[in-house]
Structure 1
Amino acid sequence: MNIKNINTKSYFLGLFLFLVGLSLFLLGADLPIFIKVLYLLATLLSGYHVMYEGFVNTVSDTKARKKFSPNIHLLMSLAAVGAILIGKFSEAALLILIFAGAHFLEEYAEGKSKREITKLLEMNPDNARIVRSDGSIEEVSVDTVQVGDTLQVQNGAQIPIDGTILSGIASIDESAINGESIPREKTTGDNVFAGTINGNDAFTMTATKTSDQTVFSKILSLVDQSQNNLSKTATKIKKIEPIYVTSVLILFPLVMLSGAAAFGWSFSTSLYRGIVFLISASPCALAASAVPATLSAISNLAKNGVLFKGGSYLSNLADLRAVAFDKTGTLTKGKPEVTDFILTNDVDKNELINIITSIERQTNHPLASAIVNHFPEAKPFDLEVETKIGTGVFGEVGSDEYLIAKPKAFNNVDQELSEAQIRLASEGKTVVFVAKNDEVVALLALMDTPNSAAQNAINYLNHEGIETVMITGDSKQTGEAIGHNLGIKKVITEVLPEDKVQVVNELKSKSLMTGMVGDGVNDAPALVNADIGVAMGDGTDVAIDVADVVLMKNDLNKFVTSHRVSKRLNKIVWQNIAFSMLVVSLLVVLNFFGLTDIGIGVVAHEGSTLLVILNGLRLLRG
């Protein structure tokens, strides 16, 4: 059984004993000693870990910082001890129970457990097929591959190491590295990366790096490094805690001395008033200022599809001054769609659509499904299809031959289509031509288009004065076209994962609270390195594991909602802090004039605590 479970069970046992003692007291049982023992046991069982943190952590923090660094647990412990010393066992137990309960809730909200990266590690290539000098092929551990070794990559297999293609042509899914949604066609001399997935054609390659130098291994090391260097962002109350506690401890003896000097208190009265001051200044309401409000906000957002892995992330979200976005699957739908279909005048549109969909249904071309899905009313039929990687897809209909291919496969193109191709390409779109008997008769333009919520989110952030940045592995044309359409302030294209981390670090170096929003394995290092990492719920498990916030259903409107709730949360927390400190100040003043005692102090504290909690619970609405 771990320490946390022991502390929790001990707390509830203490709560039970307190309720038993309180019940006996209310029923008028003539068992004063027994009831006091129950209260004392309740205080010790429920608060021993609070007292431990109060005294032991104060000593260790003071040694580490070489400066007196008390915490709020110390003040609470001293208040409870003071109440016990003057015989107020029930008040001591009540104070400890409330504070310890809030302490457990805060630990639960913060979520101290480390995020796992085992799924990312499992994606690291293990084996490689090495081609020996005699032409034989042997499967070996990827760790044994050396620079210059010749490797065979089978169709559908994961590329084991960074290198260059030696022979063959392949269509490679590089989304794990650069986030690019459209597979890239590569041939002899082109670079390939470990962790990416080969298409349907085998090829041979030459290793240019060892396994510990690959781009994918850099992703692993960056995530691991950032994971081990995560620091818990302090809540607003934590930031003022040492100042508050130190001030109260300094004032404690001064209250006793000033009371004796100014009001003629006797030693016993001074001691009593000093302890009343300590209890009056104890931070019951202050401790409840943030936790219930934060839990309410987290619960509200969870119901609306936003999961936070700690209260501090929600609190800090309102302070964001810059947000970096991945493109594919975050700002865009993650899949290409047909955006333009242009034909020459002498072509039967319906007939051509039927032919195009008939051809694309039988091919593994990366854009085939997007084209087929764009024409749901088409009437496809069976025909012979031949795919030639590097050229295009051929299909014969009667005596006519049709070719669907990229523009580079054609020399003579109608001027109207040629001009349209140049214009569409400048907008970042992928263009394919359709030719009938070597004459280009139509073009199709495809693009990974922005999702419906992206525009609203960017508009909101720009209105809030938050810098927006898009970082993507896409080409300059494609990336800037998307960024311009969305109104993003800065677009950085053709980047690898380590470049994304660098962008985040540059934003942080300007003293900007920086967020990163992404969905892929390639986003994981940047998500961890950002002050607040936000993962899209439909993204990879790795991105979700390492992020601080998860937006379900890839809805960036949830990000806008979260930011608004965060601002409201911080407003309510500061309202609670101001109110709780006002109550403390009033009780302290009344204590000097002898108008309060421990009973009044406890009632006032618990009443203010209740109001503070209710104020925080308002965040459950809306």
Structure 2
Amino acid sequence: MSSCSDSKPLIRQKEADENTFLKKLKQHGELIAAIMSGILIGAGWLLDKSNMNTPSIVAYLLAFVIGGFAKAKEGIEETIKNKDLNVEMLMIFAAIGSAIIGYWAEGAILIFIFSLSGALETYTMNKSHKEISSLMELQPEEALRIADGKEEIVHVSELNVGDHILVKPGENVPTDGVIIQGQTTINEAAITGESMPVSKGLDHEVFATTVNITGSITVKVTKPSSETLFNKIIELVQSAQSEKSPSQLFIERFEGTYVKVVLAVVILMMFLPHYLFGWSWTDTFYRAMILLVVASPCALMASIMPATLSAISNGAKNGILFKGGMHLENLSHLNAIAFDKTGTLTKGTPEVTDFVGKEGLSKENILLVTGSIENHSTHPLAQAIVKYARKHGNGDLLNIETVEDVTGFGVKAVVDGEEWKIGKADFVGKEEAGNFANGVAKQLASEGKTIVFVKKNNTVAAVLALKDVVREETKAAIDELKKAGIYTIMLTGDSEKTAQAIAAETHVDEYIAECLPETKVEELKQLKKRYDTVAMVGDGINDAPALATANIGIAMGEGTDVALETADIVLMKNDLPRIAEAIRLSKRMNRIVKQNIVFSLAVIMLLIASNFLQILDLPYGVIGHEGSTILVILNGLRLLKKQ
């Protein structure tokens, strides 16, 4: 019995492995088919060189079927659905036309190149569907509801407006509501993106997915779970991603027109020259087939894909991840960039920037005691003070047995018979705090810094100023973008005073303070009206809607998974100067793409004209067509080199 039961987990594991394998095989099916098609083309060429004509044709025919099946199926389905022809159908016709006149290899190569580009496009598109699932995983599923003095755990979807829920320290707030009992500190980074926790008390709003840090609170539900601010973030991402870019719409319109024109001309070519110029039916059909081959957009398609992939590879080697050619192309047209503050322009964590001690008291001793007391707290400000005290204090931190947390105000403790208080001005005495060191706290606060007071017995002993410090490379990055003529804006959930101070330090042209996710989206829409092409740079969950709304979303590599999945471009090393480098790469790519397009169109027109004048034989037409394809690919590969 035991052996049978022991084998069940192994069987389940084997089935799971098989399902995973099949899932991956399905995801990469087009790419595998394209590779197999290429191998068969190579085999067909070798067989042809060995004068084994029939096996060679069989190999080419298999390359047609395996490589072209997905695109042929897609082309036929789209044609039926939209009642309009597309490039997929033209490529299939061109390949069949090549086979009809005996050029199996050329037809197979057309199929191979087109199927490979389609496989890469499908792979990229599959990557873009992860951000919604990433967002959904952050939504709390359960809540502790209080009714008639009893507590019960219920699913979030069962909560009704007016219900009372208990949120304990360390828990996520399950839905939007208002505090009706208790005081606490809330980490609202999921909504505002700001690292500084916010003190909350009676009648203060709290939002779903934010984190309760210190005290237990009772919250009155004000919105159904389906209408929370967090769910609005999800809806905004979905809405922004459903909109097609102007370039995409143009390509879709151009595609149908191009196919119709080429096929119409080919059909006319099969009949008119016989009656107008006296060509034989053999010559007429021969010239029509040559036209179908040379007019196929193989070189035109290759004008963009190799150059784009080369530029993407170049960017990846230099810490810039592009999620698609569209975003890389749009980057060169950029006129303005909006930056989130926390974690983007700044480091994302508070640091002690100033320490002012009372004259006559040992500053090192004050820091030692302050750090020892704050070491009992997990609050981000407390941890920043501990870090500063370890570096600048006098010796190792003290072992303090009892520290009392006064929710919403600070902490207090007795050390060697002396009472110490650390916290807000109201906690240590507002008047005394304001007069300390000639009002230094007011000056520090005007610089956008958070102020913490230290009181020893009945005297304010010190003041510490903390701030989310600007990254060292931020100023240089902003200045370089401004030199390139790009307008810079900072969007932040911070107060007006803090935003003004950070904006001045980072050199941005404009700032907008007190932004919620909805505000950022609206500001992005207004910026797009003013500057046409606008990028958004961010790293937090709250930035996801703005990243999706902007023409180009740029995420910091150390940001949240949601920001990384939603963004179009990721700076893998959190290096802001890479943005200017990415713009230069985009401009290089667009120049090469334009060169390729002009060249490939010129070659197609030349081949068509030569065919019509009957001075172009099929072998030379194939050489010109395939040769132009090889040249534009080689030109695109130049982007692999760094300049």
TM-score (norm: length of structure 1):
0.89
| 1:120 aligned partner, one-letter code | L
Aligned to 2:50: 27
Moved more, 105-114 or 120-129: 105-114
| 2:48 aligned partner, one-letter code | F
Structure 1 residue 5: Cα displacement: 5.5
Q: For 1:117, what is the secondary structure of its paired residue?
A: helix
Aligned to 2:514: 494
Structure 1 vs Structure 2: percent identity of aligned residues?
44
Aligned to 1:402: 420
Following superposition of structure 1 onto structure 2, how do residues 185-264 of structure 1 map, counting pairs within 5 Å? 185-226=199-240, 234=248, 240-252=254-266
Determine whether 1:117 maps to 2:138. no
Following superposition of structure 1 onto structure 2, how do residues 370-409 of structure 1 map, counting pairs within 5 Å? 370-375=384-389, 376-378=391-393, 379=395, 380-383=397-400, 385-409=403-427
Following superposition of structure 1 onto structure 2, how do residues 182-581 of structure 1 map, counting pairs within 5 Å? 182-226=196-240, 234=248, 240-252=254-266, 265-375=279-389, 376-378=391-393, 379=395, 380-383=397-400, 385-409=403-427, 410=429, 411-413=431-433, 415=435, 417-510=437-530, 512-581=532-601
| Counterpart contact for 2:30–2:119, Cα < 8 Å | no
Structure 1 residue 261: Cα displacement: 7.8
Determine whether 1:97 maps to 2:112. yes
| Counterpart contact for 1:504–1:526, Cα < 8 Å | yes
Cα deviation digits, residues 134-163 of structure 1 (max 9, x gap) = x33233333333333333222222222322
Structure 2 residues not aligned, in runs of 5+:
1-21
Structure 1 residue 52: Cα displacement: 4.3
Cα deviation digits, residues 34-80 of structure 1 (max 9, x gap) = 5445434433443244444445534543x3xxxxx543333323322
Aligned to 1:88: 103
Distance 2:420 2:128 in 1: 59
Structure 1 residue 483: Cα displacement: 2.1
Aligned to 2:78: 57
Structure 1 residue 445: Cα displacement: 1.1
| Counterpart contact for 2:433–2:453, Cα < 8 Å | no
Aligned to 2:146: 131
Moved more, 170-179 or 73-82: 73-82
Cα deviation digits, residues 556-577 of structure 1 (max 9, x gap) = 2333322222221111111111
Distance 1:237 1:292 in 2: 18
Aligned to 2:604: 584
| 1:158 aligned partner, one-letter code | N
Structure 1 residue 289: Cα displacement: 0.9
Q: 1:503 to 1:86 in 2, by over 3 A?
A: same
Moved more, 605-614 or 34-43: 34-43
Structure 1 residue 424: Cα displacement: 1.8
1:39 to 33, 48, 60: 60
Q: For 1:336, what is the secondary structure of its paired residue?
A: strand
1:161 to 175, 181, 185: 175
Distance 2:131 2:246 in 1: 17
Structure 1 residue 430: Cα displacement: 0.6
Q: 1:483 to 1:243 in 2, by over 3 A?
A: farther
Distance 1:141 1:76 in 2: 54
Q: 1:159 to 1:506 in 2, by over 3 A?
A: same
| Counterpart contact for 2:173–2:208, Cα < 8 Å | yes
Distance 1:165 1:4 in 2: 47
Q: For 2:535, what is the secondary structure of its paired residue?
A: strand
Aligned to 1:66: none
| 1:406 aligned partner, one-letter code | K
Structure 1 residue 448: Cα displacement: 0.7
Aligned to 2:6: none
| Counterpart contact for 1:235–1:312, Cα < 8 Å | no
| 1:221 aligned partner, one-letter code | E
Distance 2:36 2:407 in 1: 71
Distance 1:217 1:578 in 2: 47
Distance 1:87 1:591 in 2: 18
Determine whether 1:171 maps to 2:185. yes
| Counterpart contact for 2:377–2:383, Cα < 8 Å | no
Distance 1:358 1:183 in 2: 21
Number of residue pairs matched?
Answer: 613
| 1:331 aligned partner, one-letter code | L
| 1:448 aligned partner, one-letter code | D
Cα deviation digits, residues 367-417 of structure 1 (max 9, x gap) = 111122224142232345433233333344445433322233321247573
Distance 2:584 2:249 in 1: 18
Distance 1:575 1:601 in 2: 21
1:18 to 36, 41, 44: 41
Q: 1:245 to 1:362 in 2, by over 3 A?
A: same
